[in-house]
Amino acid sequence: MSTKKVTVIGLGSLGSALAAALLRSGNEVTVWNRTPAKAEALVAQGAARADTVADAVAASPVVIVCVFDTAAARELLEPVAAGKAVVNLTTGSPDEARALATWAASRGVDYLDGAVMAVPEAIGTPGAFVIYSGSREVFDEHRDALDSFGASHFLGTDAGVAEFHDLGLLSAGYATLGGFLHAVAMLGVPAQDFLPLATTWLNGMVAFLADVAREVDQRDYAHGASSVAINQVALGNIVHASRSAGVAPDLLLPLKELMDRRAADGHAEDSASSVIELLRPRVHPE
């Protein structure tokens, strides 16, 4: 991996982890944070601490920003001049990413947006990855440095695409989190005791997603292994058992409603994945 000069602005838990990963990869890293003391550990590892944002920006051809929100990122990027590259890893919405990309373009700044799909402790490990969109040139030129964080995935030149995919990945994650918490509440067992069974089951579910993806892409639900009718019964049983245990089934009721609607529409024997047809955007003829 080639050495690069990289600036990191924002040294919260994630920003500090990003800067540390860059240092471990042999890069020359300049850091800045509103609270200077947060830079001390990184300086001890070899980072250079800038006294001002302007100094931090001037120190490197590429500036990585990881702060509280997009408004703060925009404010801190004011000193960035034409010819610089910005990689914004601040969490935001797709529209905010596009607006910041437009602002950067108006100043001759190359903009790459990204979403980090890992907790700070996992940065730089094989399980971490980051999704990017915006300037392909920035991605290609600084790929070595970006790979310090984990696997790098470029999704397209629309700066909002990475944030949109981030929301999609979080949606899948929240469903898993909600399902696990509901199960533990319903069973009334220690979560750590239930975890090995849940992990084994969920790993199997992950493997099953390949079939789901094929069915959804082909819109062919006739030969699925798990029908709407089967899942109606399963969800009904879960709801009943939850209520009997005094546990609110609120997290699962929307999915049960979708299964019920799909069955009522005459699709009880279709694969359970066919409920996506109730979620897809409706296209109305003009």
Q: Write the DSSP assignment of 158-223 as a string of letters.
A: STTHHHHHHHHHHHHHHHHHHHHHHHHHHHTS-HHHHHHHHHHHHHHHHHHHHHHHHHHHHT--TT
pLDDT at 2: 55
Q: Is 173 exposed, middle or buried (0-12, 13-18, 19+ CB in 10 A)?
A: exposed
pLDDT digits (tens, 9 = 90+) for 3-20: 689 999 999 999 999 999
Q: What is the DSSP letter of 31?
A: E
The CATH class, in words, for 5-157 is alpha beta
pLDDT digits (tens, 9 = 90+) for 229-262: 999 999 999 999 999 999 999 999 999 999 999 9
- Angstrom distance (rounded) from CA 114 to CA 209: 25
pLDDT digits (tens, 9 = 90+) for 94-109: 999 999 999 999 999 9
Tell me the average pLDDT of the chain: 95
Is the per-residue pLDDT at 120 higher than 70? yes
pLDDT at 90: 97
Going from N- to C-terminal start, the domains of the chain cover 5-157, 188-278
Q: Which helix (H) or strand (E) holds 29?
A: strand 28-32
Same fold, 5-157 and 188-278: no
Share of the chain above pLDDT 70, in %: 98
**CATH classification of 188-278, choosing from 3.30.470.10, 3.40.718.10, 1.10.1040.10, 1.20.1090.10?**
1.10.1040.10
Is the per-residue pLDDT at 1 higher than 70? no
Torsion of Cα atoms, 147 then 152 then 154 then 159, to 10°? -80
- Angstrom distance (rounded) from CA 160 to CA 132: 9
Is the per-residue pLDDT at 286 higher than 50? no
Beta bridge mates, 111: 86
Is the per-residue pLDDT at 282 higher than 50? yes
pLDDT digits (tens, 9 = 90+) for 185-200: 999 999 999 999 999 9
